[in-house]
Structure 1
Amino acid sequence: MNPLSPERLQGPGPHLLVPDAVFLPEGLVEGHAVLVRDGVFGDVGPADALATAHPHLTPVHLPGHLLMPGFVDAHHHLTQSFGSALAFGEPSEIFRRVWVPLEGALDEESAYVAAKLAALEALRGGFTTVADAGTRASVDHGVLAAATREAGIRCILGLVCGDAESGDADGALSRAEAHLARYASDPLVHPSLAVPVPEAASAGVLRATAALAADAGAVVQIHVNEHLAGVERSLVQHGLRPLEYLHHVGALGPQLLAAHATLLTPRELSLLAETGAAVSYNPVASAWKGNAVAPAAAMAERGIRFGLGTDGTRADGFRLVEAAEFAQRLTHGLATGDSSCGAGWTWLDHAARGGADALGLGARTGAVAPGMAADFLLVDISTPELALSWDVPWELLRRGNRDQITSVHVDGLLRMWRGRPTGWDADALVREAVARSRETVRRARITRAHPTSTAARERSGAQ
């Protein structure tokens, strides 16, 4: 039987996997094997020692492959997948004109399809965990949980619980408590609370959601210091910048996941370091519609917790880590003569282990280690891009792409084989998504500031 056939990797195991290399928390090692059993890594160590310790198992040799932790998307919007190019060329703060009306036009069936489509894209890109920052669609969150669960990806599922518009603080907190309890023991869906921006909730609700999340071991996701307009609104309203305001009201702490955090003062960096709050560094979003790039290299140096997020832009884990390093090089490295900019490993580490920690899942996923969930990738390192490497981590960062991912495994189960999901029909989902997205966008009252690329070309007079 072909050792690279999916049949050798299906089922809960136990499987004794012997790749050419394994990406451990301390770095890349060769000659190691990994035991996958009951959804977790049962053992990791030298291949000969594991073969001796488990003589009843037939080793599955994986020549030309690297076993590495799956990528963790620390910031996504699952129900925005129908929007895609609607955001291209748009100025910052498009959520009012594009995302709010788009999500408001979703019904439960279209929200399910949108979320499952986003999960499919994420799995194809090597993500084994994705954090949804909360939807504005008026649907039961069980719809999104079902979509991600059926796709086979691990999901941090955010519930929006602001009270600024409704004035119903008690109702917001009651819904928050119910959401945290509903998914408290789900193996793949982990509850989170979400406040779109600080001004979307009263000071009391910001404090209370922080306390609820901390008690539940969950995170509160808030878009913080993302755009100049948001910083200025906070200064006018509170006399404080958004992150400073969260600290002022008692909402800053290890339970906070500050999305974007691109516009930070030295004082705000100190607040993050002192309180243990985490950040989702979203470099592609900065390039596509942002005002700035988060100072992630400085965060790494100061021990500030952070993961990498796509913001729903594109779901390719290797392109994300390249963007993370590239953005730091352009905004900080070139000006200071820093030719390393994290030495490659920094961005790979924060794309997996760092992201899991930022999401409150550091004890469960993000690393290949005994007792951790078996969320991992098998990457073909025999390709022309990687086979001649003298430094595989750097090569993965600079030259890796999702085409080199042979398989994606979540909770020990094979979820994706050579870009195709196992056990369900991706083509049928895409066809349904095309049809539903057309109708959803037609109903939504979306306002764009920028024309389509074709219309822009015509306006420019280009021949």
Structure 2
Amino acid sequence: MSEGSRAATLVRGGVVLPMEGDKQVHDPGSVLILGDTIVAVGPVEEVDRHPDAAGAEVVDATGHAVIPGLQNTHLHSGLLRGTAESMSLWDWLQSYVDPAHAVVTPEIARAASYLAYTEGLRFGTTSVLDMWRYMEGSAEAATTLGTRATLAPYVADVEGYDYFESIESNRALLETHRSAAGGRVRTWLGLEHLFYCTPDAFHAAAELAEEFDTGIHTHSSETIWEVQESLSRFGRRPIEEMFNRGILGPRTVIAHCVWLDDRELALLAETGTSVAHCPCSNMKLSSGPARVGDMRRMGVTVGLGTDGEKENNNLDMVEELKFASLLQKVSTLDPTTGDPWDILDMATAAGARALGIGDLVGTLEPGKRADLVTVDLRQPHFVPVLSGPHFNVAAHLVFSASGHDVADVWVDGLRLVADGSVLTVDVNAVQADAQAAAEELFERRAAHLAG
């Protein structure tokens, strides 16, 4: 829809953090939206003088932080929350996750994506990179909700994993959803893991990414065992093996990357490969702390991800900010690392760059798409809110906030969440559908394991 076919919206009087990289703040400030595009950002009086501000719908953001929409760079839709606890990663995969993949249906998968995207949107996530199954249903969910979604089907072709997606099914999704919903929904290549995918699958994915001009998503180096097993099987560490298989590059995002040595970090930097850091998941599964500070110092783009509902156990990207900072601090014993502005950058501008949409979203500046979030600071856990030399709102967002404090969310200039309520779906119906789908999934998994 063109700018001229939509009324202007003025998000006025909040504490605006544009996240352009210079720690600039407009306090108080405003964001003016025309159609799907931001046309002005700045102090209240300055934006009020913009010609398009006259007659705009005014959303009073007094007492709110205004930030770019959050980018979840690693997600798995799913319905196993709270049932796969206190297990090591590989036991957990074999005992819980993989048997569920063996019996999931398109209908169950669609219900899982509706739930995941609704939860994320309520908590301020405007864009996800989701690795999941039967992703035509995921595309439907994102289109209906109005969010951005990059779809990366779980491809696996090693013997015994033939129930996952295939290169052929990934190609089919690319042919129908390479770019959909006005560009909000896109398809990438998804490779489950080095141990689930043959070299042929990696090479085929690289060729398809070139053919369709799209990205690649996979996991790597989540545990020490994985590194040791890679050395045993291939004679190389995981990132070195992925380099040999031809998938590293500026359109590839690798989740986790916890146990990398200096050579692997250099390979990521040299190839422009991005990393999705998932601190809650890495702590819950006892995977370890990624070398996020070293990655960023070397020029590697690092975004944040929640991972799936089963290993987090929520999809609250605001909460993820705090854990991202604290994990860096405790693992390095350096209180200066995990700075709030750096963490916010990972969740916004850097996350958008990792997803290849940094020219569209990730910061609040004129000409970019109007994806933004307001966070209600009028709560006891934010007192005091200070400006000037003692400005503390960035720290509040990282250390004090949660997704429950998100008040409003816009994507492409459309208000999808207002006063904490999702507007584009019936949330109760989404939850009921997901509950029924989960019960069916567990019944099907039980029959599969028994038989």
Identify the TM-score tier after normalising by the shorter chain. 0.7 to 0.9
Matched with 2:153 is: 159
Q: Which amino acid aligns with 2:218?
A: I
Partner Cα separation in structure 1 for residue 232 and residue 261 of structure 2: 17
**Cα shift at 1:71:** 1.2
Contact 2:329–2:338, Cα closer than 8 Å, also in 1: no
1:289-323 CA-partner distances (Å, limit 9, x unpaired): 13211111111221111101111221112210100
Matched with 1:74 is: 73
Q: Which amino acid aligns with 2:63?
A: G
1:256-289 CA-partner distances (Å, limit 9, x unpaired): 2111111111111111111111111000011111
Matches within 5 A, 1:93-104: 93=90, 94-104=92-102
1:368-418 CA-partner distances (Å, limit 9, x unpaired): 122222111111123222241331101111101122211111221111223
Give the TM-score of the pair, scaled to structure 1: 0.86
Are residue 247 (structure 1) and residue 246 (structure 2) matched?
Answer: no
Sequence identity percentage: 28
Matched with 2:106 is: 108
Matches within 5 A, 1:230-269: 230-269=226-265
Contact 1:214–1:255, Cα closer than 8 Å, also in 2: no
Are residue 84 (structure 1) and residue 81 (structure 2) matched?
Answer: yes
1:153-185 CA-partner distances (Å, limit 9, x unpaired): 2111112344333999xx955544443342233
Matched with 1:412 is: 413
- Secondary structure (helix, strand or coil) at the match of 1:444 reads helix
Q: Which amino acid aligns with 1:210?
A: A
Are residue 318 (structure 1) and residue 318 (structure 2) matched?
Answer: yes
Partner Cα separation in structure 1 for residue 290 and residue 15 of structure 2: 33
**Cα shift at 1:110:** 1.9
**Cα shift at 1:211:** 4.2
- Secondary structure (helix, strand or coil) at the match of 1:218 reads coil
Q: 1:183 aligns with which of 170, 177, 183?
A: 177
Matched with 1:57 is: 55
Q: Which amino acid aligns with 1:112?
A: R
Matched with 1:23 is: 17
Gaps of 5+ in 2: none
**Change over 3 Å in CA distance of 1:348–1:86 after alignment to 2:** same
1:62-101 CA-partner distances (Å, limit 9, x unpaired): 21122111111111111x2x10012221211222221122
Contact 2:13–2:44, Cα closer than 8 Å, also in 1: no
Contact 1:18–1:59, Cα closer than 8 Å, also in 2: no
Of the structure 1 ranges 88-97 and 203-212, higher mean CA displacement relative to structure 2 is found in 203-212
**Change over 3 Å in CA distance of 1:53–1:162 after alignment to 2:** same
**Cα shift at 1:365:** 1.7
Partner Cα separation in structure 2 for residue 70 and residue 302 of structure 1: 26
Contact 1:69–1:376, Cα closer than 8 Å, also in 2: yes
Contact 1:210–1:255, Cα closer than 8 Å, also in 2: no
Are residue 293 (structure 1) and residue 289 (structure 2) matched?
Answer: yes
Matched with 1:117 is: 115
Of the structure 1 ranges 249-258 and 344-353, higher mean CA displacement relative to structure 2 is found in 249-258
Partner Cα separation in structure 1 for residue 383 and residue 419 of structure 2: 19
**Change over 3 Å in CA distance of 1:444–1:392 after alignment to 2:** same
Matched with 1:3 is: none
Q: Which amino acid aligns with 1:62?
A: A
Matched with 1:213 is: 209
Q: Which amino acid aligns with 2:227?
A: V
Contact 1:40–1:373, Cα closer than 8 Å, also in 2: yes
**Cα shift at 1:105:** 2.4
Q: Which amino acid aligns with 2:428?
A: D
Q: How many residues align?
A: 426
Q: Considering only aligned residues, what root-mean-square deviation do their CA atoms show, in Å?
A: 2.4
Contact 1:210–1:256, Cα closer than 8 Å, also in 2: no
**Cα shift at 1:188:** 1.9
Matched with 2:39 is: 42
Partner Cα separation in structure 2 for residue 149 and residue 434 of structure 1: 22
1:41-71 CA-partner distances (Å, limit 9, x unpaired): 1232333333223153346232112211111
1:306-360 CA-partner distances (Å, limit 9, x unpaired): 101111221112210100011111111x2xxx22213211111101111111122
Give the TM-score of the pair, scaled to structure 2: 0.88
Partner Cα separation in structure 1 for residue 7 and residue 258 of structure 2: 43
Partner Cα separation in structure 2 for residue 339 and residue 214 of structure 1: 43
Contact 1:16–1:35, Cα closer than 8 Å, also in 2: yes
Of the structure 1 ranges 385-394 and 268-277, higher mean CA displacement relative to structure 2 is found in 385-394
Partner Cα separation in structure 2 for residue 193 and residue 134 of structure 1: 11
**Cα shift at 1:31:** 3.9
